Amino acid sequence: MLRRVAAWTAAVLVGVVLGGASAWAALEIGRGNFGERYGAWSHSRATGSTAAGPYTRAIIARDGLLALSAREALYFNLTQDDQGAPLSENCSYELIGRPLNTRWWSVTLYADDSLLAQNEDHAASIDASHVSAGPDGRWRARVSTVRGDAIYWLSSRNARRDFSLTLRVYNPHRDFQASEETLPALTRLSCLGEA
């Protein structure tokens, strides 16, 4: 009798652990293959939507709770550089973009815990109210641990490995089209230890 109770208990416990682990894995995998992709940027129009499926809702809740629906704002996330490598504070990057057809936009750097990197550089974000394009119609921002000679800078100091960038597009104009060409492009410049 006791053996039978132990067997049932073990079966239920194994089921709970398997179910929890598979759900967590599904969210991790879903996080990396989330929604639509525009170059290295990922985006889901279901963010914040009442029509979002349970997996989308769970992924958003983990990574961007209280996000606005696509009617108001679009969110794009970038976790890899132009060579497909995870973003790391050991590397320097250049983010190049053109003015977007939207009322306002910003790019914010988050550490791997989805919070601002623990530094006092006051350079966690760049936004449309402070960034202007050069003569070639593009703006350039450095993503690195030090500003150097960059005009616009996102500090990755203490962001460790697997940090990410979030592009927020508020009140996009009717002709706003997300594409690899219209969204900013991130290029890896160098990494510590590279010749």
Partner 1 sequence: MKDAGKYVWTAIIVALLAHFAFIHAVPRVMMWVAIDRVSSEGARYNAWTFADRVTPLSRTIVRPSPDFAYSACAYDLSDGPVAITATPWDAYWSLSLYADNSDNFFVVDDREARAGAEVTLVRRGATPPDDAARVIESPTTRGIALIRRLAPDLESYNAASQVARDDVCASFGALPA
Q: Cα dist. 77→4, 164, 168, 185 in Å?
A: 50, 7, 9, 12
Q: How far apart are CA 163 and CA 180, in angstroms?
A: 21
Residues linked to residue 107 through DSSP beta bridges, in sequence order? 126, 167
Q: Which of 31, 35, 38, 57 binds partner 1 (CB under 8 A)?
A: 57
Closest contact distance (angstroms) between CB of 132 and partner 1 is: 14
Q: How far apart are CA 20 and CA 50, in angstroms?
A: 25
Closest contact distance (angstroms) between CB of 170 and partner 1 is: 6
Amino acid 109 reads: L
28 is an interface residue for partner 1 by CB under 8 A? no
101 is an interface residue for partner 1 by CB under 8 A? no
Q: Which residues bind partner 1 (CB under 8 A)?
A: 4, 7-8, 10-12, 14-16, 18-20, 22-24, 26-27, 48-50, 52, 54-55, 57-58, 60-69, 71-72, 103-104, 106, 108, 110, 113-120, 124-125, 127, 129-130, 166, 168, 170-171
